Amino acid sequence: MNKLKKNSNLELKDGARIAVLGGGPAGSFFSIFALKLANQIGKDIDLTIYEQKSFLNEGPSSCNMCAGVVSESLVQLLAIEGIILRPPILQRAIDTYCFQTISGDVLLHSISNQSGIATVYRGGGPVCKSTSEKNEKPDSGKISFDDFLIDCAKKEGANVENIRVDKVKLNNEKPEIFSKGEKLFDADLVVGACGINANAVKMFEKLGIGYTSPSVIKAFQSEIHIGERNVSTLFGNAIHIFLINQPDVKFSAITPKGSYVTISMLGKNITKQTVVDFLNNPLVKNKFPDSWRTPDAFCRCVPMINVGAARHPFANRIVMIGDASSARLYKDGIGSAYLTAKAAANTAILYGVSRAAFYKHYYPTCKKINRDNFFGKLMFTLTNTINKTPIIREALLTVLRSEQKQPESDHKCSTVLWDMFTGNERYTDIFIRAFNPRLLLRFLINIFNVIFIWFKNMWRQ
Ligand SMILES: Cc1cc2nc3c(=O)[nH]c(=O)nc-3n(C[C@H](O)[C@H](O)[C@H](O)COP(=O)(O)OP(=O)(O)OC[C@H]3O[C@@H](n4cnc5c(N)ncnc54)[C@H](O)[C@@H]3O)c2cc1C
């Protein structure tokens, strides 16, 4: 309390100026919440979003490069805020996850029996490479989720400048931002919502406020055109997770969109050839039309994914949010952008923009995400081990298949997998549920069963 009082001159007064660096989900969410809250308490703030991209064009340069899956919990939170995802922003509503392994596949359906997960494009959609793509490309104009969010922020009163900020400077503790040598803004607060795919985080590291950007790994994204009818009949409303032991690949998934499927891959040194090998794997090929051949060229990008927390993501008059601060491991990054943006906006408007205020009211949200990621790491190590061990993988599939025949209240293992891959629940809760003694016992019995059947078959041979 004393610390807060000492910094009371860092409260945002009427007419205070906020510069939001980055108009991805974190920047737009921050702007929406800060402006809404300021309006509710009768505070007048002047907020400008600086975004270097236009999200209206096709291809990676106009896109914030991600699989574009908006979790069920975030779709609901956004609806409460009056942000409703509808076509053409909504590409497909997802109600099923399909786990494909070399020992077979299993379908997990939404527990709520609703198509509550949304798939979207972050930019203006994939670059059209072939004539068939160009023929089927919707001409409905705006489809970008990020552009839609920026529009929501504009409606709350945000100014938006299509400018790349190239310098942030502290002048008597008041941050100033620059582009091409020209001072753009003298800010009462600078919000670092620049993600981790641009060099902007380095500008904040150089400020000497102790900020260190999160650790990252490379991911590989490809958009493959197969036509709207094929997407509907072959993939339906299901995200396909492939656990197929491809060398150097940790994770691969196919997400259905309008007339494209998005392929997301994580692992070491993934290249276009790794994607082609993936598409040529019999299990994957089986999902595509018989006559279909892997195209020579397709829209692809190699974005970074946040796999660790930033250090000191705030200082007097500066706060880092979204990917530039903390994000859930491998899941629901847009949901983390929402959480960190909301906590930072509440702090700035209600408690001020001092380091102490951010430490007390904003940092707990980051710490909660970071702590939860510890359990996330354990859960992903466990699923990797299961996938690489045929006996345990077989036992898991047996448990899942037998659960599908039971009443929903018995779907213990299915809900663990569903929540883990949809990003619907905290990893800590999933971890506790995964180590439920009844579930472990059922799993153990199935492992013995699998071993028994293997020995029986060997004996017969
Ligand atoms: C392969 C992959 C798949 C993913 N899939 C999903 C998924 O399915 N669902 C999900 O929820 N999350 C997913 N994520 C994570 C998700 O993309 C991020 O967590 C989310 O985009 C973070 O939002 P952000 O606003 O913090 O950053 P970003 O989305 O990166 O936005 C930052 C913005 O700042 C702008 N900017 C940067 N520097 C400057 C500058 N100097 N001047 C002006 N503007 C600037 C950028 O142009 C950009 O628009 C995925 C990530 C990867 C890599």
Domain boundaries, the chain: 2-55+144-215+307-373, 93-128+216-305, 389-460
C-beta of residue 142 within 8 angstroms of C-beta of residue 130: no
Share of the chain above pLDDT 70, in %: 94
Distance of CA 23 to the CA centre of its chain: 15
One-letter amino acid of 3: K
C-beta of residue 362 within 8 angstroms of C-beta of residue 352: no
- Which residues are bridge partners to 254 per DSSP? 240, 263
CA 30, 47, 23, 134: dihedral to nearest 10 degrees?
Answer: 120
- Least confident span in 19-28, 124-133, 351-360: 124-133
Atom of ligand 1 nearest to the CA of 327: 19
Q: Does 275 score more than 50 pLDDT?
A: yes
Q: What CATH fold (topology level) applies to the domain 2-55+144-215+307-373?
A: FAD/NAD(P)-binding domain (3.50.50)
Atom of ligand 1 nearest to the CA of 333: 19
> Does the predicted model carry a pTM greater than 0.85?
yes
Q: Is the CATH number of domain 93-128+216-305 3.30.9? A: yes
User: In this predicted model, what pLDDT tens digit does every residue of 21-65 receive, in sequence order?
Assistant: 999 999 999 999 999 999 999 999 999 999 999 998 889 999 999
Distance CA 160, CA 162 (A): 7
How far CA 78 is from CA of 32, 81, 321, in Å, comes to 11, 5, 18
Ligand 1 centroid, distance to 29 Cα (angstroms): 13
**pLDDT for the residue 141:** 57
User: In this predicted model, what pLDDT tens digit does every residue of 156-211 receive, in sequence order?
Assistant: 999 999 999 999 999 887 899 999 999 998 999 999 999 999 899 999 999 999 99
C-beta of residue 145 within 8 angstroms of C-beta of residue 56: no
Residue with tokens 């060229």, as numbered in its chain: 297
**Stretch 427-453: mean pLDDT, rounded?**
89
User: In this predicted model, what pLDDT tens digit does every residue of 83-103 receive, in sequence order?
Assistant: 999 999 999 999 999 988 887
Q: Taking CB atoms and a 6 Å cutoff, what residues make up the pocket around ligand 1?
A: 21-27, 50-53, 64, 66-69, 164-165, 193-195, 197-198, 200, 219, 221, 264, 303, 305, 322-324, 327, 332-335, 337
> Can you give the C-alpha Rg of the chain in angstroms?
24
- Which residues are bridge partners to 192 per DSSP? 21, 320
**Nearest to 163, CA basis, from 19, 52, 62, 55:** 52
Ligand 1 centroid, distance to 61 Cα (angstroms): 12
- Residue nearest atom 52 of ligand 1, based on CA coordinates: 66
